[in-house]
Structure 1
Amino acid sequence: MVNTEDFIKRLEKILDYYALNASAFAEKIDVQRSSLSHLLSGRNKPSLDLILKITDEFPEVNLYWLLKGKGQFPGSSDDGVPMAEPKIKAPAPEKITASTQPDLWDAVETTAPILPKTETRPLPLPDSTTEKAIEQIVIFYRDGTFRHYNPNKA
């Protein structure tokens, strides 16, 4: 039987190690936020499904350590063999399609912070003999957002 209070402490250690809040952790292991919240508050006990989702998503988490607190996390296993470094996955890039974006420059984010002007150089125009045509333009903002512009859909 798993001691719920100790399990919660180990779960919080995993959250700290991966620098995740409860919401992001719930999303990563594909459980409802409320389920994880109830578990962390001690209202619910951990299910086998939840435990397996944690060890599937985070292979560095030793199942026996998670259940019983035996062994180490992170670090070396009981047999002295170092465990693998954490494999933190980058978030999947946001998929933007023409159907999800407003037409042309209406898509420009108006709430983006205004930054001081910097010196810019005009981009060279394609040589008309190369027959290159612009397919799409993606504008990246410093706040991490971006917008898609497709001149062919004008």
Structure 2
Amino acid sequence: MINSVEFTERLKKVMEHHQLSASTFADKVGVQRSSISHILSGRNKPSLDFILKVTSEFSDVDIHWLLNGKGNYPKIRNSGTTPPSSLFEDSNTVSGKKIQRIVVFYDDGTFDEYQK
């Protein structure tokens, strides 16, 4: 279950990091301004739809961190998030099979997926 007080603090951290007021944050995420006010005041708990809108709009917000504080904010990314295209070229095969995607799992529970 989400700890509302801690969730609110993490949400405020995102807003401060992006230098957004509550109303600007609401507009950017695509929710009513009153929704943000009610979540920040503790009156309402965030819906799954709200959480997904936040993580979709702000790529630096990890859903695990937002929900339960596990992980980092902003997301830690490797400097080279695009793998060399040669990994996907026809000549790269494993046991006669072509590579279609590569998934890298990080110790904080996040991952990056690379596709051709």
Query: TM class, shorter-chain normalised?
Result: 0.5 to 0.7
* Equivalent residue, structure 1, for 2:14: 14
Q: Deviations over 1:20-77 (max 9, x none)?
A: 0000000000000001101000000010010000001001100000001001102527
| Aligned equivalents of 2:61, 2:75: Cα separation in 1 | 10
| Aligned equivalents of 1:47, 1:63: Cα separation in 2 | 13
Gaps of 5+ in 2: 78-105, 109-116
* Equivalent residue, structure 1, for 2:34: 34
Q: 1:32 corresponds to which letter in structure 2?
A: Q
* Equivalent residue, structure 2, for 1:48: 48
Larger CA Rg, structure 1 vs 2 = 1
More helix by share: 2
Larger relative contact order (C-alpha < 8 A, sep ≥ 6)? 2
Q: 2:36 corresponds to which letter in structure 1?
A: L
- Aligned sequence identity (%): 55
* Equivalent residue, structure 2, for 1:120: none
Q: Which residues in structure 2 correspond to 1:130-141 (within 5 Å)?
A: none
Gaps of 5+ in 1: 81-154
Corresponding residue SS for 1:8:
helix
Figure out how many residues of one structure are paired with residues of the other and give that number: 81
| Aligned equivalents of 1:33, 1:8: Cα separation in 2 | 15
| Aligned equivalents of 2:42, 2:70: Cα separation in 1 | 21
| Aligned equivalents of 1:16, 1:48: Cα separation in 2 | 22
Using the size of structure 1 for normalisation, the TM-score is: 0.50
